[in-house]
Chains A and B, each alone.
Chain A
């Protein structure tokens, strides 16, 4: 149960703040694959036959209107919901009955749209929500958790205000600060698949810029990310590929290296009008072919 520290697989070191290099940006093997996922709630088909691949060191932008099924798709990847149909594969291996703990052990961390913070609780309890550090018999190692939180606040969250301590409550934080807590929480546990669910929501312009810079850092550190947003302007500049979800189906996949922002905006408009993009299939075929499962050698250490 003492997750977070018990994972033994070697992971890329916490180097998200290192400068990006051109070589590190090259995508590797398939890290995560969804095959023919369907999900319905009370007879409403929220997702219909959705397939999606995420290659290591790749940032995929997931775009779609409200109600397109973005959040449901994310909750399936993170193990909050189980799909009605379809398969989820990590490194080419199918995983059954994925739940939140299992998804974490496989390296998935999520920054939820709702931020998923407990307002009345101190920061350190929020950072370690769901996986507190504890000794035998479940007694908390509060000193260690406070120390780690203090370290993260200084280094990663950029909280220089002296009055914010690990014991400060979330209640008093600004929107940007809260987002910082949610992101640092995802990063601290050395996930290599980071899911950002509408991370720019409620952020100021400057905070959004910072966030986009941070997404660049994910790829530079050899990790992958799925970046969900409904704003193509935010997504376009930082992602390798844009997947458009419309009314529960994948309407198309578009590498940003091949489509300009203007072309994509036109396509988005067409998707919104017709529910599909006629050329989409052509580009799906051109996706990187399903390679052998990623090996540790293929990742930076």
Chain B
């Protein structure tokens, strides 16, 4: 039987609450898993499992059913952030000042990796498969990876991310800016070191 999420403030027995939670979680599983894959890679399943257990324990705190999806995502994101800290991933150190002035557009035009192309920049992006994009995203420090994934891959607004992370909007915008710059620089470095450019010039 499908149970709709109408009013989680209603006092009822635990069985109904569990069923409502399951309904919400099942609907959100594909999205939660997708976000987790990009934030913690191969630990995605564990991250979603942790999220489900934590969220179920706190389900009574959810005040509005309509806020359920964002509430679940928030729990997932915070779990992924802790997980990133706990396992001590140390993405490449990047010189942030150097990155600030980097322009992938200009780099591609200058290096001209596709001499016979009339759509140089699009051809560059076409060299990347989904696993390549995932690898580049995973190189971003978690601080920048979270806003970049949520805003540019999952379509959240910057202010929604600010609410999720409990940080000011200006901080999210600054991290998005730096995260994009790092992403552009790492796209080029990844293509260069993984043979995508050599493949293209054959």
- Tell me, yes or no, whether A binds B: no
